[in-house]
Copies of this chain bind each other. A is one copy, B any other.
C-alpha cells in the first residue's frame, strides 16, 4: 500500500455501472517523509475519506474487495485513514 493525500474528486456521468454507488477520489501519493511522490491517481473509497485527509490505498483488484458483493472494475482503492505514522526520523 502507499500513503497519499486526498486532493479532489471526479465526476463522471457515463461510467461502468459498478461505480454507481462509489466516490471517485483523486489521490496524491506521498512518501514516509510526507512529501509528494509520483503521479496522481483515481481511487474508489471504502472508508469514507474526504479531501484533505491522509490515507493509505491499495493497488490491484483488491481495491474492490471491501465492496463485496458489489463489483467494479477498479485498480486502486482507499482502505484506511491514517491517524499518524512514525519512522526512525520522527512522527507525522
Chain A residues in the interface with B (C-beta under 8 A): 1-3, 7-16, 18-19, 24, 26, 28-29, 31-33, 37-43, 46-48, 51-52, 56, 58-66, 71, 73-77, 79-89
Interface of A: prevailing SS: mixed
Chain B residues whose C-beta falls within 8 Å of the C-beta of A15 in the assembled complex: 47, 56, 79-81
User: Are the CB atoms of B40 and A32 closer together than 8 Å?
Assistant: yes
User: Are the CB atoms of A31 and B37 closer together than 8 Å?
Assistant: no
A77 in contact with B87 given A1-B43, A15-B47 (CB within 8 Å): no
Chain B residues whose C-beta falls within 8 Å of the C-beta of A11 in the assembled complex: 82-86
A80 in contact with B47 given A42-B3, A73-B65 (CB within 8 Å): no
Chain B residues whose C-beta falls within 8 Å of the C-beta of A82 in the assembled complex: 10-12
